[in-house]
Structure 1
């Protein structure tokens, strides 16, 4: 580019010389040369810097030529200098940057003035940038952070981040009972005798989560509100919005306000949480369960509630959303621990609630007094071995059950017991393959839900255990195939008889299990299309058995 400009300039100068008389230099007028520079600048052949430099040199040379010389008319030289100076003045008035002046014979001063002007403009630009940054952080402007699929929308109002995320799902489920006799506390619908169709939610209802966070005095602070409405009519009872539904006209859906909490802390001291959120014990079991995004076992499909069961009660006990004051440590070398105190929960006779002849016998004791909180803890460890990613977790739960009551225990006996439970699990990821293995065991823990049928009618604890295994293969970037199998067992307490012999033909659940196969196709960043088959069976201590089959298809939207 530079050589081209030099060639152009040389050509112009050659053309000027060609018109001169042979060997006799004719006078060159300063304004002609300046006009030439103007033309070259207008056509883009010269940059502003090149134009200024050449013009400054021209003025300097014109001034020198204006000095009286022997044999040369003074008026010619002086008129040329005056013309060049006039052109410079005209050029400065018609577009030069403020503060730049050309002084013939003082080119170094001109460079100094240019440098000073550039520094002034840079300082003004820096002040403008600082003012703009201060305005953005003042709260007078709302910005939108870059959208990441699945992470919601984040708005920045000054120092506060406001994030809105959520999901919506809907499935058509067809449940076909395979027959059998009823099981108290079982999760199969096999003994119902009728096929059922439902348009319903899966294991997840819909969810809308609002989170606000900021940093104050080096502390990360956040507040979260999570609302989880269902599709079907609600029929509140013992489980409130999560009870079985009511498929009659003029019904309304239930809203489960399961999340409302705050956190504060930082990466150096860890994080404290106060409020209602997912508990620690068995939380990894449900979060790694593939049926979290589908249906799994339906529970009641003829009158669906807010959610299905997924693998709850057929592989793990539901972690639940419980008021808590908990602490999570900083992550050190892949290890992180959490511990907290939680609102204590009552022992609950789920088998009695599901027994159609509950007046004839009662299976479990209840409780209503708690002088101490529930305590839960959790530890996770993440590491990699070459291309293999490993996630390991373990958790525990302890709660003192007081004032147990039943048909056998009188109110003045003051019977109490200590419930303990623990679990361990792992998730392995290797290329397109994923595997999950999980196991739990408890004393007084019960099955399906926390403390459901955990204590027998005689006040003694029942032992329970369960597990599930799950394999997934990403056939393509969009298609994932999953298969899983899970079992939950509940054993009789010491001194407990076969309760089916106590005047009822319904026995206490001994075993719930299910097999699930599903395909997940991610159509877009938001939409996932899901097809699933599940077989669920229940068996009682008295010998009763029942099973059912469910086919489900639907869509999950997450933003």
Structure 2
């Protein structure tokens, strides 16, 4: 009976054994082999390229073996149980099935040894990761160390900024030089006029424009939540300096062994926060008239030359022919935060003397009163509004100036008269920008303000205030990103005081300026300019001149 059962089971067992390798071996071996490759790559024993190459070969051989197995199974004879066992024994002794690539062998080793190698590889990988993280942490700490000086990304025209710990150090500036040819058109002298027409001689010069050179150092930091900065601005000229009432800005001295003048215009600190606003202490550009000069295109060229035969640190630009010079004045001032485009500023300033700029008449008698006594400061304030409508960017500003002049002196007054005057002035202006076009319109009016400079010829000999007013209009168009043309016209008027009759005193200064600018690089700009300047007195005297200038200005 037992022999009959064995006879019946043998064909079934033989069929099962013959089919078993075809049904299970390839997929099992493929899974084991793929997992092994993944583990070796994860532990760093194989590169990704090596992993992908071996896996591709393995899958290729497995697929070929899978297609070939049914044909071999159909042709091979049915094995007995003993033959099947012998085959598996031989296969186990060989160690690897014939489905793998010849020459590649894997020794799984003892389970404990394989586990140890995997754990060792994992520990090494973990240690390597920790080392990399520590190196990155150390690098970040070193970069953020106060002992490391870093350089911020450079923005053309904004200077070079270095960061040393919590301190930002910005160094910016500009340098320019122009050849200017001035041709007087004739006329008779005007006291207080800005034209050189009555000089009678053409003049050539190599000089600065309205700007001298400038080197500005600014240190900024935040301490205890307070933003603060310190600024030092040095403005040297290229021409020889000459001692005089205007120091480095006095007319030059073109003789051998001369030296250039240095104008330390800016020395101040700022303290504030974004929420409270900013306070300024020191010497800087004043508030009244600042927008007028900063928006003047002749700031980057020459404009009216002033003295061209003996150039000072700067030309006049449009000073005295459209606005009164704002000047660099010791101050304690405040600028508010900007709210919906609105911003205000106000300050107290070192009071300035009333000055006789016009000089004397034919007999040498002074034409204007002077003063040197001040018991109260000058006060200036300004409001600005910035907005954009339909792509048109607009700024509107308005400001005021007040100062009490005391103890006026003149040929008609003496200090004992204790005569004084309250000087008052106001201004309004606007600037619009639309695509390549930019336009500026500006107007000022003063009582005792004078013309050209603050309190120049503002009060007559009789102690009465002279009224003054002026304006300029300017248009600029950028034809390309590099090339632009500018045209401007400006006038400054000075009226006589009640009861005064001074025929030599300037009544009107005016000029027309046209200029072309070409940006050769981010730093270097080429400039060509023509300017016509006229001065007229309250009497018959008039004079005019023409000047042509060409040169470069570099800003960094």
RMSD over aligned Cα atoms: 3.5
Any runs of at least 4 consecutive aligned residues in structure 1 with deviations exceeding 4 A, and if so which?
21-26, 36-40, 70-82, 86-98, 124-131
| Post-superposition offset of 1:432 | 1.1
**What is the aligned partner in structure 2 of residue 379 from structure 1?**
383
Match of 2:514 among 498, 513, 517: 517
| Post-superposition offset of 1:308 | 0.1
Q: How many Å separate the matches in 2 of 1:384 and 1:22?
A: 80
Mapping 1:88-167, distance limit 5 Å? 97-99=121-123, 117=126, 121=129, 129=136, 131-167=138-174
**What is the aligned partner in structure 2 of residue 281 from structure 1?**
288
Q: How many Å separate the matches in 1 of 2:110 and 2:243?
A: 93
Pair 1:397-2:421 in alignment? no
Which structure: larger Rg? 2
How many residue pairs are counted as aligned between the two chains?
A: 493
State the TM-score, normalizing by the size of structure 1. Answer: 0.81
**What is the aligned partner in structure 1 of residue 365 from structure 2?**
361
3-state SS in 2 of match to 1:554:
strand
Q: Which structure 1 residue ranges, 5 or more long, are not aligned?
A: 1-20, 55-69, 101-113, 501-506
Q: How many Å separate the matches in 2 of 1:202 and 1:95?
A: 77
Instruction: Please tell me whether the aligned partners of residues 354 and 459 of structure 2 are also in contact (alpha carbons under 8 angstroms).
Output: yes
Closer/same/farther in 2, CA of residues 235 and 88 from structure 1, 3 Å limit: farther
**What is the aligned partner in structure 2 of residue 452 from structure 1?**
456
Closer/same/farther in 2, CA of residues 482 and 23 from structure 1, 3 Å limit: closer
Match of 2:551 among 544, 551, 554: 554
**What is the aligned partner in structure 1 of residue 488 from structure 2?**
484
| Post-superposition offset of 1:243 | 0.6
**What is the aligned partner in structure 2 of residue 472 from structure 1?**
476
**What is the aligned partner in structure 2 of residue 219 from structure 1?**
226
Pair 1:345-2:355 in alignment? no
Closer/same/farther in 2, CA of residues 91 and 518 from structure 1, 3 Å limit: farther
State the TM-score, normalizing by the size of structure 2. Answer: 0.82
CA deviation profile, 1:59-81 (whole Å, cap 9, x unmatched):
xxxxxxxxxxx987699679999
Q: How many Å separate the matches in 2 of 1:366 and 1:190?
A: 28
CA deviation profile, 1:135-161 (whole Å, cap 9, x unmatched):
333321011111111111111111111
Closer/same/farther in 2, CA of residues 77 and 273 from structure 1, 3 Å limit: farther
| Post-superposition offset of 1:83 | 3.6
**What is the aligned partner in structure 1 of residue 49 from structure 2?**
44
Pair 1:210-2:217 in alignment? yes
Q: Which structure 2 residue ranges, 5 or more long, are not aligned?
A: 1-20, 60-84, 97-104
Closer/same/farther in 2, CA of residues 96 and 176 from structure 1, 3 Å limit: farther
Instruction: Please tell me whether the aligned partners of residues 347 and 380 of structure 2 are also in contact (alpha carbons under 8 angstroms).
Output: yes
Q: How many Å separate the matches in 2 of 1:367 and 1:521?
A: 46
**What is the aligned partner in structure 2 of residue 335 from structure 1?**
342
**What is the aligned partner in structure 2 of residue 59 from structure 1?**
none
CA deviation profile, 1:384-427 (whole Å, cap 9, x unmatched):
01111101111110001011111111221111110000000000
Mapping 1:526-545, distance limit 5 Å? 526-545=523-542
Match of 1:462 among 439, 459, 466: 466
Closer/same/farther in 2, CA of residues 95 and 140 from structure 1, 3 Å limit: farther
